[in-house]
Amino acid sequence: MMQPQNISNLVFSYGISEAELLNHPVLEALPVAIYTCDLDGYIRMYNRAAVELWGREPDGSDQWCGSWKIFSMDGSPLPLDECPMAKVLKGIPVEPYREIMIQRPDGSRRIAVPHPRAITNDAGKMIGAVNMLVDVTFRKNAEEDVARLAAIVQSSEDAIVSKTLQGIVTSWNPSAEKVFGYTAAEMIGQHISKLIPSERISEEAEILSKIQRGERIEHFDTQRITKSGKLIDVSLTISPVRNSNGIIIGASKIARLISAEKKLYKALQESEQRLNIAVEAAELGTWELNLITREPSYSDRYLQILGFEPGSKPDHSSILKKIHPEDMEIRNEAIKKALEDGTLDFEMRVCPSKEIVRWIRSKGKVFYDKNGTPQRILGTTLDITDQKAAFDILLQSEERFKDIANSAPVMIWMTGNEKYAGFHNTSWLNFTGIKQEHGNIDDWTDFVHPDDVEKYINVYKEAYVKQEAFYREYRLRRYDGQYRWISDHAVPRYDNTGSFIGFISACMDIDDEKRFNEKLQASELLFKTIANVSPVALWMTDVNGKNNFVNQTWIDWTGIPVDKQYDQGWLASVEEADREHLMEVCRKSLEKKEQFAVEFRLNRKDGKVRWMLSEGGPYYSIDGKFCGLAGSVADITERKEQEIQKNDFLAVASHELKTPITSIKAYTQLLAQTFQNGDNDFVKNALSKMENQVNKMTKLVSDFLKLSKIESGKFQLNPELFDLKDLVNEMAGDIQMVSAGHKILVEKSGSLFVNADRERISQVITNFLNNAVKYSPDNKDINVRMKNSNGFVTVMVEDKGIGIKPEEHQKIFERFYRANGNANISFSGFGIGLYISAEIIRKHGGDIGVNSEEGKGSVFYFTLPQAK
């Protein structure tokens, strides 16, 4: 048998015991790498998962980490003595969740998140450290793939269409609209054959059958018809679309317009070239205007831009004629401003000929004489038509990207000119449950957990300034209100001139994984915590049921030293009379491998005898091997004493009450028989009411005895359909009979049908009315009202009696609770009626409560669901 070890020894006395702790079957089988180091950093122990992660077995000389080589995530080598484990041992703070890259001797690399933690002895002194390495390689790769995909998709400029296996169009992007002339609204839900010329209709069947086989069709040159009936040449690439189970559910089609594609490409290339040349000023037109003589002069390039022959001398008015009429105003405003502040800068359209419109940008400077009078303006003009076009194309490609991003299964967000607002794809919107068509959210911090917002914003701000990729983890509110941990990897975006224009990010829900990690960390701490702070005793046995562990709490209670507890040593402190039963229960649990709970008395070292509840059951190693029994022992003396008191009380009360009630009942029946044939109707009537009430009392007593039943939840209802109005009136009549001093007034009401246990509800009404009578000795008016609203029927009983303090409004519905009330008068009672009433009403799905002011009176009410 393994030498039993106290858990504190296991953790704290650093030596053999540590090896035993880590030879623990649970740790060895754990799918997470764990290892420990001593104060000098030498690896003392490690589990199988650690060897797997490192790709090697430490040989005794390894310090800090068993890895062959490690790197920071930016790729720079990380010296082993600066690794997180080394930092912990040197007392340097470690950033949580910072990943490292591990290179194995065979060259393969893994990414892991280390969780190092110091091991301290009783005195709080560090005696080593334990590290847990969580392998996140798989997650990392997946995230990178998504980001890469998003980047590729972003730069695509093609018409993209998806359809079901039956050929029904399910998505249609703006480019598709451009190429084929149909809008998304016109095409979605339509059959794709709308685009296919009749002589090519057989192609579609061929395409679909290939897709169904999981094949991809690339660069298939064919013809399609546009909305206007024009035949166009297109090149198709079609791929199968699979659902998350890998089943093919449709096809996505990329259509490229063959001729337009070439044009577009050329325009883009030219615009890039022009931009370069413009930078070198070769494309800049220059001009000058003498403000005194109004005499202009223009460079050849300027004349060319405006559509004049180089070397010609157009006058000022023919230059003005070239300006696009709608932009004349812009030009005049710009010149007016230039004369005021000295600089000119504006964009406008010009028309070098009837068919051509060009965008130009003019910049200039005003020169003054020494008196400050403007003399002339010197300026440059650049043809920016292509730049503008390129910008439009960029805008379009952005739109197209959004379409594709919307079909991506990961959450994607993107910021543009607006630093804190931006596009969110459908997955993101679905996750947060926002109904928003364009995905533009103004302030998405609304969805971040309040505790995470500050860090969330700061990381973003810093990255924005540095224009750097960043990573965040935070809790995001899901559509159902639950906050989930999200990993958020963002990379900077650039426009085609290379300027930074915001970020694009792929987010993943890592909540389950995160919780798993947290659990692992918690379980790492568990050994320490339970041994030190547990208010209950803990124990474990081997497979033969022999004790091999008790915690400090048990040792403190019994006063028996740890080495005398093992095997059956612990039994010595159990009260002799209880030993056999206890052992029997344990034996049965061991044999049947099932849970048990047993009570026994313990002789404590301070001489007191205390009631204990031991609960336990079998425990298994990760690979499912039975290891023995484990469990806890809690001190239940107080509870036990209360229980005994309660049971005693109930027994006495039942005995005391049953006898007098039975004899009253017998006498009532006897009297009833005697007067049966007489002609005194009043007596007959009174006797039958009396018998009625006695029956109710009998019922109440038996209910009282059934209190314990309520507690254990074995409380049954017998519902039936009845009119609550009638029941209330009947009960009020009964109580009025026996409370002649009070005046019970029931407000008129229509029928109020409920499906409820009539008998029990009558108990509640009786209880309310009896209390109203009992607790209003001075003012005798009692009003009963009923109403029907929102699917519930309400009954209210109002008295003008002693009332109840606000702090007792809840408490009076508790078992045995009686309000202090008026000190001068004493009221009889058990404090049980309202408790039973509350149980009855809640069981019916209704509500019960009171509005009351001390000294003024109370309104007790209950509600019941209206019968359907």
Query: Distance from CA of residue 87 to its chain's centroid?
Result: 34
Phi (first) and psi of residue 672, to 5 degrees: -60, -45
Contact 503, 491 (CB under 8 A): yes
Reading the block at residue 314, the tokens are 């157009």
Q: Which is nearer to ligand ADP, 197 or 829 (CB)?
A: 829
Q: Which is nearer to ligand ADP, 5 or 766 (CB)?
A: 766
Q: Which is nearer to ligand ADP, 92 or 825 (CB)?
A: 825
By CB under 6 A, name the one of 314, 342, 569, 831 that touches ligand ADP: 831
By CB under 6 A, name the one of 799, 839, 840, 846 that touches ligand ADP: 799
CA atoms within 13 A on the CB side of 746: 20
Q: Which is nearer to ligand ADP, 289 or 848 (CB)?
A: 848
Spatial distance between the Cα atoms of 288 and 296, rounded to a whole number of angstroms: 6
Q: Should residue 612 be labelled a site residue for ligand ADP when binding is judged by CB under 6 A?
A: no
Q: Should residue 830 be labelled a site residue for ligand ADP when binding is judged by CB under 6 A?
A: yes
Question: What's the per-residue H, E or C state across 355-383?
Answer: CCCEEEEEEEEEEECCCCCEEEEEEEEEE
Query: What residue ranges in 580-675 does DSSP mark as E strands?
Result: 596-603, 609-620, 626-635
Phi (first) and psi of residue 515, to 5 degrees: -65, -35
User: Closest distance between ligand ADP and the C-beta of residue 830, in Å?
Assistant: 5
User: Closest distance between ligand ADP and the C-beta of residue 784, in Å?
Assistant: 13
Spatial distance between the Cα atoms of 859 and 700, rounded to a whole number of angstroms: 23
Of the candidates 439, 490, 446, the residue with the CA atom closest to the CA atom of residue 464: 490
By CB under 6 A, name the one of 37, 303, 476, 834 that touches ligand ADP: 834
Q: Which is nearer to ligand ADP, 649 or 830 (CB)?
A: 830
Q: Should residue 802 be labelled a site residue for ligand ADP when binding is judged by CB under 6 A?
A: yes
User: Closest distance between ligand ADP and the C-beta of residue 708, in Å?
Assistant: 17
Site size for ligand ADP (CB under 6 A):
21
User: Closest distance between ligand ADP and the C-beta of residue 131, in Å?
Assistant: 60
User: Closest distance between ligand ADP and the C-beta of residue 838, in Å?
Assistant: 9
Stretch that binds ligand ADP, among 122-130, 638-646, 676-684, 832-840 (CB under 6 A): 832-840
Contact 240, 211 (CB under 8 A): yes
Burial of residue 222 (number of CB atoms within 10 Å: 0-12, 13-18, 19+): middle
Angle at 191 between CA 188 and CA 196, to 5 degrees: 115
Characterize 169-185 residue by residue with b for buried, 16 or more Cβ atoms within 10 angstroms of its Cβ, and e for exposed. bbbbbbbbbebbbbeee
> Mask 2-31, x = binds ligand ADP (CB under 6 A)?
------------------------------
User: Closest distance between ligand ADP and the C-beta of residue 808, in Å?
Assistant: 7
User: Closest distance between ligand ADP and the C-beta of residue 702, in Å?
Assistant: 17
Stretch that binds ligand ADP, among 223-231, 527-535, 603-611, 831-839 (CB under 6 A): 831-839
User: Closest distance between ligand ADP and the C-beta of residue 818, in Å?
Assistant: 3
C-alpha to C-alpha distances, 459 to 339, 363, 432, 658, 707, nearest whole angstrom:
46, 39, 21, 75, 60
Spatial distance between the Cα atoms of 493 and 499, rounded to a whole number of angstroms: 8
Applying the rule CB under 6 A, the residues between 759 and 788 that interact with ligand ADP are 767, 771-772, 775
Residue with the closest Cβ to ligand ADP? 829
Stretch that binds ligand ADP, among 136-144, 251-259, 325-333, 812-820 (CB under 6 A): 812-820
User: Closest distance between ligand ADP and the C-beta of residue 440, in Å?
Assistant: 59
User: Closest distance between ligand ADP and the C-beta of residue 839, in Å?
Assistant: 11
Reading the block at residue 372, the tokens are 């400050």
Residue whose pair of structure tokens reads 């005398």 in the numeric block: 564
User: Closest distance between ligand ADP and the C-beta of residue 729, in Å?
Assistant: 20
Reading the block at residue 310, the tokens are 């180089």
User: Closest distance between ligand ADP and the C-beta of residue 855, in Å?
Assistant: 10
User: Closest distance between ligand ADP and the C-beta of residue 795, in Å?
Assistant: 14
Q: Should residue 849 be labelled a site residue for ligand ADP when binding is judged by CB under 6 A?
A: no
Q: Should residue 829 be labelled a site residue for ligand ADP when binding is judged by CB under 6 A?
A: yes
Of the candidates 744, 735, 710, the residue with the CA atom closest to the CA atom of residue 837: 710
User: Closest distance between ligand ADP and the C-beta of residue 815, in Å?
Assistant: 9
Q: Which is nearer to ligand ADP, 502 or 801 (CB)?
A: 801
User: Closest distance between ligand ADP and the C-beta of residue 787, in Å?
Assistant: 20
CB contact set of 657 (below 8 Å; sequence gap of 6+) = 701, 704
User: Closest distance between ligand ADP and the C-beta of residue 578, in Å?
Assistant: 38
Helix or strand (DSSP H, E) at 793: strand 792-799
Q: Should residue 865 be labelled a site residue for ligand ADP when binding is judged by CB under 6 A?
A: no
Phi (first) and psi of residue 454, to 5 degrees: -60, -50
Stretch that binds ligand ADP, among 63-71, 490-498, 572-580, 829-837 (CB under 6 A): 829-837
Q: Which is nearer to ligand ADP, 494 or 827 (CB)?
A: 827
Applying the rule CB under 6 A, the residues between 711 and 770 that interact with ligand ADP are 767
Q: Should residue 703 be labelled a site residue for ligand ADP when binding is judged by CB under 6 A?
A: no
Spatial distance between the Cα atoms of 126 and 46, rounded to a whole number of angstroms: 19
Q: Which is nearer to ligand ADP, 502 or 803 (CB)?
A: 803
Distance separating the N- and C-terminal Cα atoms of the chain: 68
Q: Which is nearer to ligand ADP, 579 or 774 (CB)?
A: 774
By CB under 6 A, name the one of 58, 628, 801, 846 that touches ligand ADP: 801
Q: Which is nearer to ligand ADP, 137 or 822 (CB)?
A: 822
Stretch that binds ligand ADP, among 336-344, 664-672, 700-708, 801-809 (CB under 6 A): 801-809
Q: Which is nearer to ligand ADP, 537 or 773 (CB)?
A: 773
Q: Should residue 804 be labelled a site residue for ligand ADP when binding is judged by CB under 6 A?
A: yes
Q: Which is nearer to ligand ADP, 7 or 744 (CB)?
A: 744
Residue whose pair of structure tokens reads 């406008």 in the numeric block: 348
Residue whose pair of structure tokens reads 């009833």 in the numeric block: 672
Q: Which is nearer to ligand ADP, 365 or 818 (CB)?
A: 818
Q: Should residue 818 be labelled a site residue for ligand ADP when binding is judged by CB under 6 A?
A: yes
The residue type at 102: I
Spatial distance between the Cα atoms of 678 and 404, rounded to a whole number of angstroms: 96
Rounding to the nearest 10 degrees, give the CA dihedral for residues 569, 571, 575, 577: -120
Number of residues assigned to the chain: 868
Residue whose pair of structure tokens reads 């051509």 in the numeric block: 356
User: Closest distance between ligand ADP and the C-beta of residue 573, in Å?
Assistant: 43
Neighbours of 95 (CB within 10 A): 7
Contact 157, 175 (CB under 8 A): yes
User: Closest distance between ligand ADP and the C-beta of residue 698, in Å?
Assistant: 17
By CB under 6 A, name the one of 181, 821, 849, 865 that touches ligand ADP: 821
Neighbours of 463 (CB within 10 A): 18
Query: What residue ranges in 20-116 does DSSP mark as E strands?
Result: 33-38, 43-46, 69-71, 100-103, 109-114
Spatial distance between the Cα atoms of 379 and 117, rounded to a whole number of angstroms: 69
Stretch that binds ligand ADP, among 24-32, 473-481, 631-639, 824-832 (CB under 6 A): 824-832
Stretch that binds ligand ADP, among 218-226, 239-247, 419-427, 826-834 (CB under 6 A): 826-834
Q: What is the CA radius of gyration of the chain?
A: 43
* Residue 536: DSSP 8-state: S
By CB under 6 A, name the one of 4, 364, 833, 846 that touches ligand ADP: 833
Q: Which is nearer to ligand ADP, 620 or 830 (CB)?
A: 830
Burial of residue 326 (number of CB atoms within 10 Å: 0-12, 13-18, 19+): exposed
Contact positions vs ligand ADP (CB under 6 A): 767, 771-772, 775, 799, 801-804, 812, 818-819, 821, 829-835, 858
